[in-house]
Amino acid sequence: MKTMPKGLLVVLSGPSGAGKGTVCQLLRQRNPHLAYSVSATTRSPRPGEKHGVNYFFLKREEFEAWRDRGEFLEWAEFCGNLYGTPRSYVEERLASGQDVLLEIETQGALQIRASFPTGVFIFLLPPSWAELKARIIQRGTESEEERRRRLAKAESEIAMLRAYDYLVINDRVEQAVARVEAILMAEHARVNRFSDEELKAQLEGQLL
Amino acid sequence: MKTMPKGLLVVLSGPSGAGKGTVCQLLRQRNPHLAYSVSATTRSPRPGEKHGVNYFFLKREEFEAWRDRGEFLEWAEFCGNLYGTPRSYVEERLASGQDVLLEIETQGALQIRASFPTGVFIFLLPPSWAELKARIIQRGTESEEERRRRLAKAESEIAMLRAYDYLVINDRVEQAVARVEAILMAEHARVNRFSDEELKAQLEGQLL
């Protein structure tokens, strides 16, 4: 009997300004087999962002209705906006053996950890504080006050780093993506991800 | 203050016939920064093997003298021959921040685990039992009886797989090496390998 390998849940998180979006974009381009879970949010789209591609952009009432029907795997309020991860897509993809990538704020990431202890939790950081500040200011789509809030928030988020499995420094996006790819390859090779049946099948040459 | 990153101890093990030697050779070619610890053994050199390069080929009395002076990190008897890992080289390289690669029999690997709980333990397997048998027979440098012993031994070694961190299938050597490289890159990114000081230095842009 061939055992179905389970998909990996990969959570990419980190402070605002770490470059989560850019890293995820290149990662998905280079790994089209990675299922990408689109999050829902009540924040306004940034220029170029599309509904159903970057986020599901919801009105607050819509978001709360989804949430109250239990349709989020996690949700969090972040700088006055709500963010959530639709549950069914993630669970279906994992069950079918596909790896699923979540790009997610730090509060939400830790909620996911509770339901998916075997998930792979990656914390993305810019190469320095100075760089983080510069990126948040450069983004320039939020108000001055929102920027200040994001910086303060970043500081408190970094304190949560110990709850993650991996730290990836986003110095150059290609290098950060290569590190995430290496982490995925390594995690697929971890002995404790194989059941006894899978190991036995492996030895009999039925797997891979 | 810049904290010195510690080197990783990487132990590549697996049953006889898994292709440890071939994988190590290509891995070292592609990663010249990897310190390679040459083992000592009392077995006879195979064609092409060189003293001080593939192994330190010792007479049994010499081996026992080294062992009795505490000069081995681990040693084991395997199919009538003694194998051991000289201690000083490994400890010096790790302390200087270099990654060290050990290619080692399974008994010895588990002894190393006791002294280096943070080491990275990789179990190499051929793609199937049939393939393992073919490789052991093909090697053809041992007697018929030694081959039978090696096969029986391989079976019992595989039972130890759960004590390792990673399982790498050696279907094609290039692919096996790429997997080991990914494991090394991932392990360097593991949060629990950083001290609080290193994380702080990272945030202040002093590291990397």
Higher pLDDT, A124 or A108: A124
Domain boundaries of chain A, sorted by first residue: 9-37+98-203
Q: Do A178 and B185 touch (CB under 8 A)?
A: yes
Res A165 pLDDT > 90: yes
Interface check for B194 against chain A (CB to CB < 8 A): the answer is yes
What residues of B are in contact with residue A182 (Cβ under 8 Å)?
Answer: 181-183, 185-186, 189
Other CB atoms within a 10 A radius of the CB of residue B175 amount to 12
- Check: CATH 3.40.50.300 for B9-37+98-203? yes
Secondary structure (3-state) at B2: coil
The structure's pTM equals: 0.81
- Buried residues in B55-89 as b, exposed as e (16+ CB within 10 A): bbbbeeeebeebeeeebbbbbbebeeebbbbbbee
Confidence band (pLDDT; 50, 70, 90) for B208? very low
What residues of B are in contact with residue A169 (Cβ under 8 Å)?
Answer: 202, 208
Report the gap between the CA of B36 and the closest CA in chain A (Å).
Answer: 21
Under 8 Å between Cβ of A102 and B178: no
Interface check for A89 against chain B (CB to CB < 8 A): the answer is no
What residues of A are in contact with residue B194 (Cβ under 8 Å)?
Answer: 167
Residue A95 phi/psi, 5° resolution?
A: -65, -30
- DSSP code, position A79: T
Mean pLDDT of A16-32: 92
What residues of A are in contact with residue B165 (Cβ under 8 Å)?
Answer: 190-191
| B178-196 per-position pLDDT tens digit | 999 999 999 999 998 888 7
Under 8 Å between Cβ of A90 and A104: no
Mean pLDDT of B100-119: 88
Beta bridge partners of A81: A78
Res B133 pLDDT > 80: no
Q: State the distance between the two ends of chain A, measured CA to CA, in whole angstroms.
A: 13
State the residue for tokens 């007479």: B59
What residues of A are in contact with residue B151 (Cβ under 8 Å)?
Answer: none
- DSSP code, position A8: P
Interface check for A125 against chain B (CB to CB < 8 A): the answer is yes
Is beta strand A81-86 parallel, antiparallel or unpaired with respect to A120-125? unpaired
Under 8 Å between Cβ of A106 and A157: yes
Q: Which helix (H) or strand (E) holds B101?
A: strand B100-103
Q: Do A186 and B183 touch (CB under 8 A)?
A: yes
Report angle CA A200, B119, A106 to the nearest 5 degrees: 90
Mean pLDDT of B70-84: 90
Q: Which helix (H) or strand (E) holds B130?
A: helix B129-139
Burial of residue A201 (number of CB atoms within 10 Å: 0-12, 13-18, 19+): middle
Please give the order of strands across the beta sheet that includes A166-169. Answer: A35-36, A100-103, A9-13, A120-125, A166-169
Secondary structure (3-state) at B72: strand
Residue-level pLDDT at A143: 78
DSSP A51-65: BTTTEEE--HHHHHH
Interface check for B208 against chain A (CB to CB < 8 A): the answer is yes
Higher pLDDT, B136 or A27: A27
Secondary structure (3-state) at A174: helix
Q: Do A189 and B168 touch (CB under 8 A)?
A: yes
Closest CA to B75 of B114, B119, B105: B105
Higher pLDDT, A203 or B77: B77
Under 8 Å between Cβ of B12 and B23: yes
Report the gap between the CA of A120 and the closest CA in chain B (Å).
Answer: 11
Other CB atoms within a 10 A radius of the CB of residue A4 amount to 10
Residue of chain A minimizing CA distance to B207:
A127
Distance CA A135, CA A167 (A): 19
- Percent of chain B past pLDDT 90, that is, above it, reads 50
Closest CA to B63 of B33, B83, B35, B44: B83
Question: Quick one: tokens of A181?
Answer: 């790819």
Distance CA B14, CA B146 (A): 18
- What interface predicted TM-score (ipTM) does this complex get? 0.78
Residue-level pLDDT at B141: 62
DSSP B37-100: PPEEESSPPPTT--BTTTEEE--HHHHHHHHHTT-EEEEEEETTEEEEEEHHHHHHHHHTT--E
Res A159 pLDDT > 60: yes
| A60-72 per-position pLDDT tens digit | 999 999 999 989 9
